[in-house]
Amino acid sequence: MDCNVAENINTLAKFLGTRDIDALNQEELFNRYGIHQVDVMVLFGGSILEGGDVLASGIKNFVAKKYIIVGGAGHTTDTLRQVVHLEYPDIETTDLSEAEIFQKYIKHVYGCKADYLETKSTNCGNNITYLLDLLKENNISFNSIILSQDASMQRRMAAGLKKYVKEGVTIINYTTYCAKVLNQDEDLVFEDNIHGMWSINRYVNLLMGEIPRLSDDANGYGPNGKNYIAHVDIPENVMIAFEELKLVFGSETREANPLYASKVIKK
C-alpha cells in the first residue's frame, strides 16, 4: 500500500486526537496552565479500553477535584462490552452502559473509581448536554476541565463543550491514546500496541467520519450546519489527506446512526 496512505491517516489522527499537555499530572498542568488541579476530569465512554487506563492515571495523579465517566449505549458500546469481558471474564458487561463498564474496569484493575456516572447519553452531542446537566444537578461549578475521549472524536467533543460554556472556561484536551499507523509489507499496521485498539479499518472509518461532521457547512455539525458544535477550522493539509484517503477507502464514512440520536421531546 502507498506510504502516503499511512501518512494521511496519521495527519487526520494528529488533528482529531489532540493532547494539550504531554502527560496527565500536576506538574504538566502547572507548567501549561498555572494550576495543579482542574475542577473536573471527564472520560467519555466512546473510547477504547485505554481510556480507562488514562482515567485511572488521572485519578492516581490527583489531576482533578471531581472525576466523571459519561456514556450510555451507542455505536461503540458492544465492542467495549466484548473487549472487557474477553480480557476480564470476572467483569460482567451484559446490558451495562459504557460508564458502568469503565467504572467496573478501573475498580477491578486499579482499585479506584469515578465520583459520578452519566449513563443515558448515546452520542457526542448528548454526552455534553447530559454531562452539563449532571454537573448542574450536583452543584459542581467548573472553570477548568479535562476531556478524554477516543482519539477520533476528541476534537469534536471539545467543540461540543465549547458551544455551551462561558468564554473563561479552560478546556484541556487529553485524548485517550495517540496511534501511529505504518506501512509494513503492503499492509497498514499500528506502530505500538494500544489497549483495546480498534482494527485498522474501524479506526480509519472513525477518523474519516469526523471530517464531514466537523465541517462548518450545510451538512456539518458547525454553526452553519446542524449547530451541534462550535466552529472548527480544518487545516488545508487535513482536508487534502481526507480527500486522498477517500480515493483509497471510498467515500463511505461512518454515518450517524439514528438509533443513537438524541430524543426530541414534543411539546
Question: What integer pLDDT is reported at residue 194 of this predicted model?
Answer: 96
Question: What integer pLDDT is reported at residue 259 of this predicted model?
Answer: 42
Query: Model's pTM, two decimal places?
Result: 0.91
Question: What integer pLDDT is reported at residue 262 of this predicted model?
Answer: 45
Question: What integer pLDDT is reported at residue 257 of this predicted model?
Answer: 47
DSSP per residue, 97-164: -HHHHHHHHHHHHHS---SEEE----SHHHHHHHHHHHHHHTT---SEEEEE--TTTHHHHHHHHHTT
Residue stretches of the chain with pLDDT short of 50: 256-267
Question: What integer pLDDT is reported at residue 255 of this predicted model?
Answer: 55
Question: What integer pLDDT is reported at residue 2 of this predicted model?
Answer: 65
34: left (phi over 0), alpha (psi -120 to 50) or beta: left
Question: What integer pLDDT is reported at residue 121 of this predicted model?
Answer: 86
Question: What integer pLDDT is reported at residue 37 of this predicted model?
Answer: 98
Per-residue pLDDT of 163-191, as tens digits, reads: 999 889 999 999 999 999 999 888 999 99
Residue among 106, 40, 47 at smallest CA distance from 74: 47
Question: What integer pLDDT is reported at residue 76 of this predicted model?
Answer: 77
